């Protein structure tokens, strides 16, 4: 199985934690279709930790919690598939999952086979309770082999939190996406912390094996399992834009059955999603080097798109307004090239030209800009 674009979907953990059951998952499947999430590209519906019984059955197979999922996982997968969605599940490389349910350690092949028989399309694979005598690389490789031989296409979503320099070995395991970060919380501090660390991992992200900044908290507004105070809509917009521009998988974590419209509009912004899903998946690079025009070093990322256009994101994670000038020389577009940029703000729809190779922007606290840019001839007299 080859995964060419950052995977998109919904995951139960951020809002629901332990509090999951088959009715909830069916309702989420219905809403994913009804409210346009599937149409926008969110295709995987993933049940995270806490779906299992505490004991395997007499054949050593994992069993779904009989109270929460009385119809079983195969029936649930069938329902999810009937909606045109794909079904995901969670397990762990250790003896136990992070919440203390049976892990897949020394059961990798039988678990992969069980998941295939249930119709699973996506496995999130965690690293809690790893026995000290085994190295983590071998354990992730073993599940990678088991999945690649289970007779079904199952996306392998490794979740080793960036630990043990995950970026350096994860591509040997067959993982199609891999967590580069520790767990997200629904707060601006958490978003900013994950974002700031990610540059280190970005160069290891590529089609086939995408670095994952963790699931989205957009729209949680301080409610649910990982709620740590919540965020404003501007913070969610910045969070989503950053994840999207930097080629991260986009896994929604909010309760989409009752998400406010402004958050839903963020998650469904087609122009932002198109930048995330651009088939080139070229590596974004940072040009916001601190200087007199950008004294705090607000991150400015540039990403070449497959049709020759460019996505430029300017991010203000700080608590004060940013008054910035971004110099196109830093991406090689000096005036001597005879070229400049025509830029479209994908959040407001406004279009302008960059003059004198300098883009001036005022960005409110915690907000951002994302421009889709065309390279055009420099015509003197055109003003921004």
**Strand pairing partners for 125?**
91, 158
In angstroms, give the least distance from the CB of 180 to ligand GLA. 12
DSSP characters over 276-312: HT-TT-PPPEE----STTSTT---EEEEE-TTS-EEE
**Set 35, 78, 183, 199: catalytic member:** 183
Nearer to ligand GLA, 161 or 285 (CB): 161
The residue among 125 and 317 lying less far from ligand GLA, judged by its C-beta, is 125
C-alpha to C-alpha distance for 35 and 267, rounded to whole angstroms: 11
Q: Minimum distance from CB of 69 to ligand GLA (Å)?
A: 17
| Smallest distance from ligand GLA to CB 161, Å | 6
Q: Which is nearer to ligand GLA, 68 or 303 (CB)?
A: 68
Query: Measured from the CB of residue 99, what is the shortest distance to ligand GLA in angstroms?
Result: 4
- Give strand ranges (E) for 240-378: 250-252, 285-286, 300-304, 310-315, 322-327, 339-345, 351-353, 358-363, 368-377
Q: Given the complex with ligand GLA, which of 129 and 347 has the nearer CB atom?
A: 129
Clarify whether 183 is annotated catalytic: yes
Which residues are paired to 355 by β-bridges?
358
- Cβ of residue 32: shortest distance to ligand GLA, in angstroms? 20
Which residue among 49, 126, 201, 367 is the active-site one? Answer: 126
Which residue matches tokens 């979503």?
Answer: 157
Contacts 24+ apart (CB under 8 A), 203-207: 203/283, 204/167, 204/168, 204/170, 204/171, 205/180, 205/247, 205/283, 206/281, 206/283, 207/2, 207/3, 207/4, 207/5, 207/281
Locate the DSSP E strands across the chain.
8-11, 44-46, 86-92, 122-126, 155-159, 177-179, 210-212, 250-252, 285-286, 300-304, 310-315, 322-327, 339-345, 351-353, 358-363, 368-377
Q: Do 302 and 369 meet the contact criterion of CB atoms below 8 Å apart?
A: no
Considering the complex, state which of residue 47 and residue 150 has its C-beta at the smaller distance from ligand GLA. 47
Q: Residue 111 or 367: which CB sits closer to ligand GLA?
A: 111
Nearest approach in angstroms of CB 249 to ligand GLA is: 12
Residues that bind ligand GLA (CB under 6 A): 13, 48-49, 97-99, 126, 159, 161, 183
| Active-site annotation, residues | 126, 183
């Amino acid at each position: 199985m080859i995964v060419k674009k950052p995977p998109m979907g919904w995951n139960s953990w951020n809002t629901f934690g332990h509090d999951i059951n088959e009715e909830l998952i069916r309702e989420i499947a219905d809403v994913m279709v009804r409210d346009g999430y599937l149409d926008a590209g969110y295709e995987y519906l993933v049940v995270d930790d806490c779906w299992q019984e505490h004991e395997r059955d007499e054949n050593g197979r994992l069993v779904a919690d009989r109270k929460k999922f009385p119809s079983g996982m195969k029936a649930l997968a069938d329902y999810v598939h009937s909606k045109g969605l794909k079904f995901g599940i969670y397990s762990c490389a250790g003896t136990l999952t992070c919440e203390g349910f049976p892990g897949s350690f020394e059961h990798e092949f039988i678990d992969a086979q069980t998941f295939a028989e249930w119709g699973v399309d996506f496995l999130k694979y965690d690293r809690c309770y790893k026995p000290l005598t085994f190295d983590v690389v071998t354990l992730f490789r073993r599940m990678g082999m088991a999945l690649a031989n289970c007779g079904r296409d199952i996306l392998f979503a490794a979740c080793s939190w960036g630990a043990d320099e995950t970026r350096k070995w994860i591509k040997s395991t067959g993982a199609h996406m891999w967590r580069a970060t520790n767990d997200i919380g629904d707060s601006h501090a958490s978003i900013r912390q994950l974002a700031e660390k990610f540059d280190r991992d970005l160069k290891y992200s590529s089609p086939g094996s995408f670095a994952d900044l963790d699931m989205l908290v957009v729209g949680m507004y301080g409610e649910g399992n990982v709620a740590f105070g919540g965020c404003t809509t501007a913070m969610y917009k910045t969070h989503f834009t950053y994840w999207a521009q930097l080629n991260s998988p986009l896994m929604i974590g909010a309760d989409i059955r009752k998400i406010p419209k402004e958050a839903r509009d963020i998650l469904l912004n087609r122009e932002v999603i198109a930048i995330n899903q651009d088939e080139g998946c070229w590596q974004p690079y940072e040009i916001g080097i601190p200087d007199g025009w950008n004294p705090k070093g607000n991150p400015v990322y540039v990403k070449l798109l497959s049709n020759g256009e460019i996505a430029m994101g300017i991010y203000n994670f700080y608590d004060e307004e940013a008054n910035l000038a971004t110099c196109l020389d830093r991406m090689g577009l000096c005036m001597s090239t005879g070229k400049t940029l025509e830029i479209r703000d994908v959040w407001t729809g406004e279009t302008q030209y960059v003059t004198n190779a300098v883009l001036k922007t005022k960005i409110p606290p915690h907000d951002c800009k994302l421009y889709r840019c065309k390279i055009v001839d420099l015509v003197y007299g055109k003003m921004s």
